[in-house]
């Protein structure tokens, strides 16, 4: 049993805490949000992750705002958020604040703790920013403490499953002893481990997410051409997917990608590349093609109804099925544009309406039937229950390929 501290009780921090607790370690979680701490201490997870509540209930996990409790930890994982700034770069304010606190602990504490960055940070951040803060304590990485970067690849809504059965664990190590320490901690999870240097580990995270984003923009571009040529892009993708150099996943043409990670990571690497004097043309195209897909759905809508003065139904608000997360969700951009252009909106989502209401208090959140009674309906998330609705007699613009929606009186798929 090891004493492990997790800094940041968000989706990543709680999943990491729960999985290390399940493996028999003693866990302390530190956060600055007192409301969140109270919620977790009442054994309710503030994030919807299957299996998390059960582990929180069964395990001895201490959740606190007191950084003093991190003292004497053998391993510390930094999992705070690194949100996007307006210019696309990431804000490092939280990770700096957390690092300063850990530096103070290093100064007064003993032992040889291993400090690992799990937050997503652009290549170079750990070496150029985090490490100097830690070493300003007077202690040296590789002599007094271990230092690694181990980016997290879990998917929202599948966090525990993904962490327990990870496709790979990437360990960026400051020195061999630090890497050995993290390998030792992680080998219980039985995933392939790749060891590398700090900035390569940081880049692997960005390159992986951006590759997925590029795959989506690629198939959307092919889909847009297919629609004009009368070809079914889903058949094309099926044919491509047999080739294991290509792979069948992330080839569902439609509205594009959203969520807390892909758009943020893409914008952050674009900003980092520009900062060091490189014009990342492909990455910029991946982003602008994604933004264009949202406008395309509105173009298709306008072929059938005038937007100003109409009531438009939005089916699906979350960025993907199975979550209440609306970060960078396509539905948000669609709703903002429709509002700007003078439409009234009625919206439905099985999980995300409470979050949507905070952004769009004027939007009527309603039942699927009410939404279907609008002048036209846009499907923005592929929830399974949307495939059981009655679309007969309706005008439907489908951004997500819901088979049943084809029964509509007027049916337009975005790329088909």
Q: How far is the CB of 234 from ligand NAD (least distance, A)?
A: 27
Query: Count of CB atoms within 10 A of residue 387's CB?
Result: 12
Q: Which is nearer to ligand NAD, 61 or 345 (CB)?
A: 61
Which one is catalytic: 261, 365, 374, 415?
Answer: 261
Contact between 152 and ligand NAD by CB under 6 A: the answer reads: yes
DSSP secondary structure code for residue 84 in this structure: B
DSSP string, 139-183: --BTTTBEEEE----PPTT-HHHHHHT-S-EEEEESSHHHHHHHH
Residues 6+ apart with CB under 8 A from 272: 89, 122, 123, 124
Contact between 103 and ligand NAD by CB under 6 A: the answer reads: no
Query: Count of CB atoms within 10 A of residue 64's CB?
Result: 17
Residue reference for tokens 């582990």? 55
Residues 224-263, mask of contacts with ligand NAD (x by CB under 6 A): ------------------------------------xx--
Q: Which is nearer to ligand NAD, 82 or 224 (CB)?
A: 82
* Count of residues interacting with ligand NAD (CB under 6 A): 26
Judged by CB under 6 A, the stretch of 94-102, 126-134, 226-234, 346-354 that binds ligand NAD is: 94-102
Residues 156-185, mask of contacts with ligand NAD (x by CB under 6 A): x-----------------------------
Residues 7-46, mask of contacts with ligand NAD (x by CB under 6 A): xxxxxxx----------------xxxx--x----------
Give, as ranges, the residues between 292 and 331 that touch ligand NAD (CB under 6 A): none
Q: Which is nearer to ligand NAD, 152 or 173 (CB)?
A: 152
Position of minimal CB gap to ligand NAD:
10
Judged by CB under 6 A, the stretch of 5-13, 52-60, 229-237, 343-351 that binds ligand NAD is: 5-13
Contact between 130 and ligand NAD by CB under 6 A: the answer reads: no
Contact between 338 and ligand NAD by CB under 6 A: the answer reads: no
Contact between 203 and ligand NAD by CB under 6 A: the answer reads: no
Q: How far apart are CA 211 and CA 330, in angstroms?
A: 19
Judged by CB under 6 A, the stretch of 74-82, 234-242, 347-355, 386-394 that binds ligand NAD is: 74-82
Residues 6+ apart with CB under 8 A from 11: 47, 49, 154, 156, 159
Burial class (CB in 10 A: 0-12, 13-18, 19+), 338: buried
Q: Which is nearer to ligand NAD, 55 or 377 (CB)?
A: 55
> Angle, nearest 10°, between helix axes 262-275 and 198-229?
120
Q: How far is the CB of 156 from ligand NAD (least distance, A)?
A: 4
Nearest to 342 by CA among 309, 388, 317, 320: 309
Query: Count of CB atoms within 10 A of residue 145's CB?
Result: 24
User: Are 73 and 33 in contact, with CB atoms under 8 Å apart?
Assistant: no
Q: How far apart are CA 74 and CA 112, in angstroms?
A: 7
Q: 261 an active-site residue?
A: yes
In the numeric block, which tokens belong to residue 392? Answer: 């007969």
In the numeric block, which tokens belong to residue 4? Answer: 């492990």
Q: Which is nearer to ligand NAD, 263 or 316 (CB)?
A: 263
- Catalytic residue numbers, as ranges: 261
List residues near ligand NAD by CB under 6 A. 7-13, 30-33, 36, 79-82, 94, 97-98, 119-120, 152, 154, 156, 260-261
């Amino acid at each position: 049993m090891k004493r492990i501290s997790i800094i940041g009780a968000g989706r990543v921090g709680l999943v990491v805490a729960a999985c290390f607790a399940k493996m028999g370690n003693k866990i302390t979680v530190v956060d600055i949000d007192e409301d969140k701490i109270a919620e977790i201490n009442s054994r309710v997870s503030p994030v919807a992750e299957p299996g998390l509540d059960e582990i929180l209930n069964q395990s001895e996990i201490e959740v606190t705002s007191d950084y003093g409790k991190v003292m004497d930890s053998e391993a510390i994982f930094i999992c705070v958020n690194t949100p996007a700034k307006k210019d696309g770069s990431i804000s490092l304010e939280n990770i700096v604040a957390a690092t300063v606190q850990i530096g103070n602990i290093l100064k007064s504490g003993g032992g040889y703790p291993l400090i690992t960055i799990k937050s997503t940070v652009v290549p170079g951040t750990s070496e150029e920013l985090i490490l100097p803060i830690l070493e300003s304590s007077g202690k040296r990485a590789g002599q007094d403490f271990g230092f690694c970067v181990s980016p997290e690849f879990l998917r929202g809504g599948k966090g525990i499953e993904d962490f327990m059965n990870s496709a790979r664990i990437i360990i960026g190590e400051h020195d061999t002893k630090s890497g050995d320490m993290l390998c030792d901690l992680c080998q219980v999870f039985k995933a392939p481990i790749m060891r590398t240097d700090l900035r390569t580990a940081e880049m692997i995270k960005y390159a992986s997410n951006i590759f997925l984003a590029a795959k989506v923009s690629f198939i959307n571009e092919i889909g847009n051409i297919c629609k004009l040529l009368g070809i079914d892009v889903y058949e094309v993708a099926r044919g491509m997917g047999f080739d294991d150099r290509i792979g069948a996943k992330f080839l569902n043409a439609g509205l594009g990608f959203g969520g807390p990670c892909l758009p943020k990571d893409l914008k952050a690497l674009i900003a980092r590349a520009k900062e060091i004097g490189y014009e990342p043309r492909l990455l910029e195209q991946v982003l602008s093609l994604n933004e264009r897909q949202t406008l395309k759905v509105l173009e298709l809508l306008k072929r059938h109804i005038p937007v100003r003065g109409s009531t438009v139904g939005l089916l699906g608000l979350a960025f993907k099925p199975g979550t209440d997360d609306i970060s960078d969700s396509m539905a948000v951009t669609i709703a903002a544009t429709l509002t700007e252009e003078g439409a009234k909106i009625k919206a439905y989502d099985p999980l995300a309406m409470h979050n949507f209401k905070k952004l769009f208090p004027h939007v009527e959140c309603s039942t699927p039937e009410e939404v279907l009674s609008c002048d036209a309906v846009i499907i923005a998330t592929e929830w399974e229950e949307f495939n059981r609705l009655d679309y007969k007699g309706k005008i439907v613009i489908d951004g997500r390929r819901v088979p049943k929606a084809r029964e509509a009186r007027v049916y337009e798929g975005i790329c088909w």
